[in-house]
Chain A
Amino acid sequence: MSGNYGHRLEFGTLVTPVNASPDNPVALARRSEALGYDLVTFADDPDQPAHLDTWTLLAWVAGRTDRIHLAANVLTVPLRSPAVIARSAASLDLLSGGRLELALGAGDRGPDGLAAVAARGGARLDPRAAVDALGESVDVVRAVLDAGDPDPVHYDGEHHRLDGAPRGPLPAHHIPIWLGGTDPRLLRLVGAKADGWLGTLDPAEPDAVRTSNKIIDEAAREAGRDPAEIRRLLNVTGRFAATRQGFLHGPATGWVDDLLPLVVENGVGTIVLTTDDMATMERFAREVAPALREAADRALPAPLPRTAQRGRAVRVKRRPGIAYDEVPASLADRAVEPGDIDYAKVRSNYLRGGAPGLVLRPRTPAEVADALTFARAHRHLPLGIRSGGHGISGRSTNDGGIVIDVGGINGIEVLDEDARLVRIGPGARWMDVAAALAPHGWALTSGDYGGVGVGGLATAGGVGWLARKHGLTIDHLRAVELVLADGRVVRASETENADLFWAVRGAGANFGVVTAFEFEADEVGPVGWAQFALDAGDPAGLLTRWGAAVEAAPRDLTSAIIMGPPRMGQPAVAQVMAMVDSDDPATIVAQLQPVADVAPGYDQQVVITSYASVMANASDAPHQAQGEPISRTGLIEHLTPEFAAAAARLLASGVVYFFHIRSIGGAVTDVDPDAMAWSHRNANFHVTAFGRHRARLDALWDGLLAEHLRGTYLSFETDLRPERLAEAFPPRTLARLRTLKERYDPDGLFRDNFAITPDTASRTTP
Chain B
Amino acid sequence: MTDYGHDLLFGTFTTPTVQPVRQAVDLAVVADRAGLDLVTFQDHPYQPRFHDTWTLLSYVAARTERVHLSANVLNLPLRPPAVTARSAASLDLLSGGRFELGIGAGAFWDAIEAMGGRRLSPGQAITALEEAIQIIREVWAADKPGGVRLDGEYYRVNGAKRGPAPAHDVNVWIGAYKPRMLRLVGRVADGWLPSLPYFQGGPADLVAMNERIDEAAAAAGREPTQIRRLLNISGEFASTGRSLLNGPPEQWAEDLAGLTLEYGVSAFILMADDPATIELFAAEVAPATRQLVAEERARAGR
Contact = CB atoms under 8 A, between A and B. Distances in A.
B58 A147 contact: no
B152 to A, nearest CB: 9
Interface string B54-68: 111111111100000
Contacts of B204: none
A62 interface: yes
Interface in A356-378: none
A164 B114 CA distance: 5
B224 interface: no
B22 A95 contact: yes
Contacts of B156: 121
Contacts of B286: none
Contacts of A169: 18-19, 48-49, 51
A247 B25 CA distance: 46
A164 B117 CA distance: 12
A63 B63 contact: yes
Contacts of A59: 54-59, 62
Contact of B93 (A22, A64, A164): A22
A147 B19 CA distance: 14
A69 to B, nearest CB: 15
Interface string A154-170: 00000011111111110
A81 B94 contact: no
B164 A52 contact: yes
B46 A166 contact: yes
Contacts of A120: 80, 82-83, 157, 160
Given A84-B79, A88-B54, A22 B155 contact: no
A87 B87 CA distance: 17
Contact of A49 (B25, B56, B164): B164
B163 A166 contact: no
B62 A55 contact: no
Nearest to B82: A120
A49 B162 CA distance: 6
Contacts of A63: 58-63
A22 B19 CA distance: 31
Interface string A85-99: 001101110111000
B163 A56 contact: no
A60 B57 CA distance: 9
B21 to A, nearest CB: 5
A64 B117 CA distance: 33
B58 A152 contact: no
B164 A87 contact: no
Contacts of B164: 19, 49-52
Interface in B113-139: 113-117, 135
Contact of A80 (B80, B81, B135): B80
A26 B93 CA distance: 12
Contacts of A87: 45, 48, 52
A52 B93 contact: yes
A119 interface: yes
A433 interface: no
A123 to B, nearest CB: 11
B240 interface: no
B54 A79 contact: no
A730 interface: no
B86 A166 contact: no
Nearest to B56: A91
A35 interface: no
Nearest to A163: B114
Nearest to B139: A49
Given A49-B163, A59-B58, A60-B62, A161 B19 contact: no
A621 interface: yes
B90 interface: yes
Contacts of B61: 60, 63
A61 interface: yes
A121 B114 contact: no
Nearest to B84: A53
Contacts of A161: 116
Contacts of B142: 49
A90 B55 CA distance: 10
Interface in A81-120: 81-84, 87-88, 90-92, 94-96, 116, 118-120
Contacts of B257: none
Contacts of A60: 58-59, 61-62, 91, 94-95
Nearest to A120: B82
A150 to B, nearest CB: 12
A56 B91 contact: yes
Contacts of B209: none
A57 B116 CA distance: 25
B281 to A, nearest CB: 24
A90 B94 CA distance: 22
A47 B161 contact: yes
A678 B82 CA distance: 69
Given A56-B94, A162-B114, A81 B78 contact: yes
A119 B147 contact: yes
B200 interface: no
13 contacts: A47-B160, A56-B91, A57-B94, A62-B59, A63-B63, A94-B21, A95-B56, A96-B59, A119-B157, A147-B48, A165-B114, A166-B47, A619-B19
Q: 7 smallest A-B Cβ distances: which pairs?
A: A63-B62, A49-B163, A59-B58, A168-B48, A88-B52, A53-B87, A53-B90
Given A59-B54, A160-B116, 7 more contacts: A22-B94, A60-B94, A79-B82, A90-B48, A91-B52, A122-B80, A165-B116
Interface of A: 19, 22, 26, 46-53, 55-64, 79-84, 87-88, 90-92, 94-96, 116, 118-122, 140, 147, 152, 160-169, 172, 619-621
Interface of B: 18-22, 25, 45-49, 51-52, 54-63, 78-83, 86-87, 89-91, 93-95, 111, 113-117, 135, 142, 147, 155-164
